[in-house]
Amino acid sequence: MKTIKGPAIFLAQFADDVAPFNSLKSICEWMANVGYKGVQIPSWDPRMIDLQKAAESKTYADEIKGTVQDAGLEITELSTHLQGQLVAVHPAYNELFDGFAPANLAGDIKGKTEWATQQLKYAAKASANLGITAHATFSGALMWHTVYPWPQRPAGLVETGFTELAKRWMPILDEFDRYGVDVCYELHPGEDLHDGITFEMFLEKVNNHKRANILYDPSHFVLQCLDYLQFIDFYHERIKMFHVKDAEFNPTGKQGVYGGFQGWVDRAGRFRSLGDGQVDFSGIFSKLSQYDFDGWAVLEWECAIKHPEQGAIEGAQFISDHLIRVTEKAFDDFAGRGADEAFNKKILGI
């Protein structure tokens, strides 16, 4: 067994125009001061990194890496959640996602997809330049508007949708393979890859591509009423990243999974700071350790109630308390007799 690394933190929810969260240097120093050992960097935020430059210049990538290391931290992964979303966008969501791309691409659904595809390819090279081997992203969605089968889905719709999604991602996966980096899809409502079954359907379409992997985040499974512990049993070989995020689901006689169009505070299902929700993190850390996951435990802070700085400070200690130093010996070794083949045969009567 292997020991999970951590604690680390995803910087996306903390980056701001206000110090100390307005530069990579100062935000890393703040995170190190409250107990983190690693940071996951949002590649779309110019306050944190220039993705294209990190791909094209090893010198610049080394400077970014040095800035993080000077604060006593490591870069765990880069993230292209926003760009990954744009690899596949249904026209109904075109304008809603304009903010995820450069302003000159507003309304241009094809242009946004082409830009996003290039961004992912930059991320592959940038990851290699930074010396990291896993990458966080979203799959995008062509079929999400049909997630509930009313009106009835036409025959073959899902097959066609996954075929097209795979067609768009195969060149990206191949580029990541070229640089030895795993693409880790965060399985998330709003994405065509949002649970185990949809991941399997996609995996079949990309010919079980070895770089198509999973960013495991139990909070999204709580909100879907999915067994997030058994999920690890099924997919542990493909889990290459881990977001430590809490959530709770409190259905009432008035609302359930879909939330009744309420804001986050008033929904039955909502994200919470670590320890304030319902996720069994002791069970998760045990299972991941059992299956030799040796990646990073990365806090993704999202909470409808608690302030992010309090969530970050508490989260570092919470993750540290859940990390398991895996054993190198069996608990009952004290009673063992050692290796003796002749004795073993005598016990077996052979």
| Per-residue pLDDT at 331 exceeds 70 | no
Please list, in sequence order, all residues whose beta carbon lies within 8 angstroms of the beta carbon of residue 130, skipping any fewer than 6 positions away: 54, 61, 64, 65, 75, 78
Taking 80 as the threshold, does the pLDDT of residue 242 lie above it?
yes
Number of domains in the chain: 1
Q: Is the pLDDT of residue 155 over 70?
A: yes
In this structure, are residues 296 and 242 in contact, taking their beta carbons and an 8 Å threshold? yes
Banded model confidence at residue 199, pLDDT cuts 50, 70, 90:
very high
Q: Which two tokens stand for residue 64?
A: 């970014």
- CA–CA dist 142, 145 (Å, integer): 8
Average pLDDT over residues 292-297: 96
Residue 227 or residue 2, greater confidence: 227
Look at residue 334 and tell me whether its pLDDT is greater than 70: no
Burial 231-268 (b: 16+ CB within 10 A, else e): bbeebbebbbbbbbbbbbbeeeeebeeeeeeeeeeebb
Q: How far apart are CA 283 and CA 266, in angstroms?
A: 28
Interval 159-168: pLDDT, tens: 999 999 999 9
| 109-130 and 58-70 helices, crossing angle to 10° | 70
How much is the average pLDDT of 109-115? Answer: 98
Q: What is the pLDDT of residue 326?
A: 86
Chain mean pLDDT for the chain: 96
Q: Looking at residue 195, which CATH number applies to its domain?
A: 3.20.20.150
Report the pLDDT value the prediction gives residue 238, as an integer from 0 to 100. Answer: 98
Burial 36-75 (b: 16+ CB within 10 A, else e): bbbbbbbbbbeebbbbbebbeeeebbeebbebbeebebbb
> CA–CA separation, 132 vs 276, rounded Å?
32
How high is the pLDDT of residue 338? 74
Q: Coil, helix or strand for 205?
A: helix
- Is it the case that residue 327 has pLDDT exceeding 90? no
What count of other Cβ atoms lies within 10 Å of the Cβ of residue 139? Answer: 26
Q: What's the whole-number mean pLDDT along residues 111-119?
A: 98
Question: Average pLDDT in the 302-309 region?
Answer: 96
Q: Answer whether residue 284 shows pLDDT above 90.
A: yes
pLDDT of residue 1: 82
CA distance 119 to 55: 10
* Structure token digits, residue 273: 């700071």
Q: Give the distance from CA 297 to its chain's centroid.
A: 10
SS3 322: helix
Residue 175: which domain range?
5-348
Q: What pLDDT was estimated at residue 339?
A: 76
- Locate 140 and state its tokens: 């995008």
DSSP, residue by residue, 68-117: HHHTT-EEEEEEEHHHHHTTSB-GGGTGGGGGGS-GGGTT-HHHHHHHHH
Whether 336 shows a pLDDT value over 80: the answer reads no
13-51, pLDDT tens digit by residue? Answer: 999 999 999 999 999 999 999 999 999 999 999 999 999
Structural tokens at position 342: 């002749």
Q: How far apart are the first and last CA of the chain?
A: 34
**What would the two tokens of residue 171 be?**
């060149």
Q: What is the mean pLDDT of residues 140-149?
A: 97
Structure tokens at 322: 């859940």
For residue 24, which of 42, 7, 8 has the smallest C-alpha distance? 42
- In sign, the C-alpha dihedral spanning 192, 195, 198, 200 is positive
pLDDT of 332 higher than 80: no
Q: Which of 145, 101, 146 is nearest to 120 (CA)?
A: 101
Between 347 and 67, the more confident residue is 67
